[in-house]
Amino acid sequence: MSAATGAGNEQTLSRYPKVEGIPHFYVLDGNGSVLHSQHVVELRKNGKYDPDKMKDFLTKWSPPATANSAKSDAPARDGKTEKKD
């Protein structure tokens, strides 16, 4: 969602902490409450997004796997879709 002035999202974004820079990530729980606010400049290294920092961020804030997610269709390492039963 755009945080730019005039983008029409001011009311929606007003319930979240101030955006420190763009792009910006908000981690929300199932009810839409903010768990974490992340300025993505902190996920960069030498002017580029750092894959390890991005992975750490996503791993930290991803929900735990559930029995249902383990049974879902998942891309296989070869790029084809595997059906888990």
Instruction: Inform me whether the pLDDT recorded for 80 exceeds 70.
Output: no
Structure tokens at 53: 């920092």
Q: Are 16 and 26 in contact (CB under 8 A)?
A: yes
Q: Are 14 and 20 in contact (CB under 8 A)?
A: no
The pLDDT of residue 62: 92
Domain ranges for the chain, please list them.
1-63
Q: Are 71 and 84 in contact (CB under 8 A)?
A: yes
What's the whole-number mean pLDDT along residues 15-33? Answer: 87
pLDDT digits (tens, 9 = 90+) for 26-73: 999 989 899 999 988 999 999 999 999 999 999 999 988 877 655 555
